């Protein structure tokens, strides 16, 4: 199979490419990535001689058309992904997430190529803190931030291209990922690298907000299941029953790193901060038999901390600039 991976130099995409090269030697991987601040060649360095990396923007219709024409399937990860950045400047989110997805859709339509579109649970908005409710494929879209609104827009384009043009596409909406190669702007790597650089971790508001954590490898295994056996036109929710408050995740990180559990700062809350995400993944489990392998969150977190300890050269050059930007925003 010739596989085109958009955004393969970012966090989830790079882990996806690593796993694909490791576990599926019959797959020829081409990555298209604009190598924005969030993507890096270094994330693909361990597999550099096994893949083709094309530096380019997914809104470049000519380039995307050429690469899609050479592929049997496309897995579409490329996007602007950080909510705080979207609040500060939404324009790149409309560009990459909406126009970019439109460009990919037009190319797969022209060439009859199978597409899997990677999306987020944030399109469903948020849930009350103390309720048994979880998101399902039938939950109405209700995005809160410019990031989630543009991802929702992209999902709607995919649905319309399936129905109107018969494009062979599936969609997945996953919860919060953690693992190696995640940018230090994101919650878990930010706190780990704050400790490693002698800074105090930073918690938005009271830390009561809940996220549903899944290891990136479990997400990517689900993407492969859907790409292989998913029903065209169908949306699959991916989650691993990993609900935890931000405060409890932060305290676990501090404990695992040998720090006092109260050794952190409360900082300005995020505007419009979603309270709680929670995924009901039963359709994916029942229909495609997917199960998460990383069911011990603390063990996954310990391994992730170890990865950041051992790979300082990957994240260190980014750290000071990220913290300077947060400081400007009072976070």
Task: State which of positions 134-153 bind ligand DAU (CB under 6 A).
Answer: none
Query: Which of the choices ligand DAU, ligand NAD, none does residue 202 contact, using the CB cut-off of 5 to 8 A by kind?
Result: ligand DAU
186 binds ligand DAU, rule: CB under 6 A: yes
User: CA 113, CA 102: separation in Å to the nearest integer?
Assistant: 14
Binding site for ligand NAD (CB under 6 A): 7, 9-13, 33-36, 38-39, 57-59, 77-81, 96, 100, 118, 120, 151, 174, 176-177, 183
Contacts 24+ apart (CB under 8 A), 130-139: 133/278, 134/278, 134/279, 134/280, 135/173, 135/237, 135/277, 135/278, 135/279, 135/280, 136/237, 136/280, 136/283, 137/234, 137/235, 137/236, 137/237, 137/283
User: CA 101, CA 98: separation in Å to the nearest integer?
Assistant: 5
Minimum CB–partner distance for residue 258 and ligand NAD (Å): 27
190 binds ligand DAU, rule: CB under 6 A: yes
Burial 204-228 (b: 16+ CB within 10 A, else e): beebebbbbbbbbbbbbbbbbbbbe
Looking up tokens 């050269």, which residue turns up? 313
Picking from 109, 111, 77, 73, the residue whose alpha carbon sits closest to that of residue 228 is: 73
Query: Which of the choices ligand DAU, ligand NAD, none does residue 13 contact, using the CB cut-off of 5 to 8 A by kind?
Result: ligand NAD
Minimum CB–partner distance for residue 239 and ligand NAD (Å): 10
Instruction: Tell me which stretch binds ligand DAU (CB under 6 A): 39-47, 49-57, 81-89, 153-161.
Output: 81-89
Q: Where are the alpha helices (DSSP H) in 112-245?
A: 146-165, 187-196, 216-229
246 binds ligand DAU, rule: CB under 6 A: yes
- Which one, 35 or 61, has the nearer CB to ligand DAU? 35
294 binds ligand DAU, rule: CB under 6 A: no
Measured in residues, the chain has a length of 331
User: CA 77, CA 264: separation in Å to the nearest integer?
Assistant: 33
Picking from 74, 30, 34, the residue whose alpha carbon sits closest to that of residue 57 is: 34
Residues with a catalytic annotation lie at 121-122, 147
Interaction mask 114-133, ligand DAU, x per CB under 6 A: ------xxx-----------
Minimum CB–partner distance for residue 57 and ligand NAD (Å): 4
Looking up tokens 């893949």, which residue turns up? 51
250 secondary structure, DSSP code: H
Q: CA separation (Å) from 295 to 180, 201, 216, 245?
A: 17, 25, 12, 17
Instruction: Tell me which stretch binds ligand DAU (CB under 6 A): 98-106, 183-191, 220-228, 253-261.
Output: 183-191
Minimum CB–partner distance for residue 82 and ligand DAU (Å): 5
Q: Where are the alpha helices (DSSP H) in 40-174?
A: 61-69, 83-88, 91-93, 100-111, 146-165
Minimum CB–partner distance for residue 61 and ligand DAU (Å): 25
Dihedral sign, Cα of residue 121, residue 124, residue 128, residue 133: negative
The only residue of 20, 172, 176, 252 in contact with ligand DAU, by rule CB under 6 A: 176
Query: Which of the choices ligand NAD, ligand DAU, none does residue 141 contact, using the CB cut-off of 5 to 8 A by kind?
Result: none
- Which one, 7 or 230, has the nearer CB to ligand NAD? 7
Query: Which of the choices ligand NAD, ligand DAU, none does residue 33 contact, using the CB cut-off of 5 to 8 A by kind?
Result: ligand NAD
83 binds ligand DAU, rule: CB under 6 A: yes
Minimum CB–partner distance for residue 262 and ligand NAD (Å): 27
Binding stretches for ligand DAU (CB under 6 A):
81-83, 120-122, 175-176, 186-187, 190, 202-204, 209, 211, 246, 270, 277
């Amino acid at each position: 199979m010739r596989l085109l991976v958009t955004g393969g130099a970012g966090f989830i995409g790079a882990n996806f490419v690593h796993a694909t090269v490791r576990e599926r030697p019959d797959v020829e991987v081409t990555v298209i990535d604009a190598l924005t601040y969030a993507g890096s060649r270094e994330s693909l360095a361990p597999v550099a001689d096994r893949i083709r990396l094309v530096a380019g923007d997914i809104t470049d219709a000519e380039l995307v058309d050429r690469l899609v024409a050479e592929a049997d399937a496309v897995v579409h990860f490329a996007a602007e992904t950080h909510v705080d950045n979207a609040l500060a400047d939404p324009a790149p989110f409309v560009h990459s997430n909406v126009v970019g997805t439109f460009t990919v859709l037009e190319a797969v339509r022209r060439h009859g190529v199978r597409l899997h579109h990677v999306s987020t649970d944030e399109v469903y908005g948020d849930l009350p803190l103390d309720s048994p409710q979880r998101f399902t494929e039938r939950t109405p879209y209700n995005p809160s931030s410019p990031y989630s609104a543009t991802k929702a827009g992209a999902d709607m384009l995919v649905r319309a291209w399936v129905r109107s043009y018969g494009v062979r596409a599936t969609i997945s909406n996953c919860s919060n990922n953690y693992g190696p190669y995640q940018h230090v702007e994101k919650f878990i790597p930010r706190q780990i690298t704050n400790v490693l650089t002698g800074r105090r971790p930073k918690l938005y508001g009271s830390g009561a907000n809940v996220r549903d954590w899944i290891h990136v490898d479990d997400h990517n295994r689900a993407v492969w299941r859907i790409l292989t056996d998913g029903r065209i036109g169908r949306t699959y929710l991916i989650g691993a029953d990993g609900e935890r408050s931000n405060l409890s995740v932060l305290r676990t990180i501090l404990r695992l790193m040998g720090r006092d559990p109260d050794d952190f700062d409360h900082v300005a809350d995020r505007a419009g901060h979603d309270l709680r995400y929670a995924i009901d993944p039963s359709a994916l489990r029942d229909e495609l038999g997917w199960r998460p392998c990383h069911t011990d969150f603390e063990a996954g977190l310990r391994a992730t901390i170890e990865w950041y300890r051992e790979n300082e050269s990957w994240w260190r050059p980014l750290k000071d600039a990220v913290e300077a930007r947060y400081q400007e925003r009072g976070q």
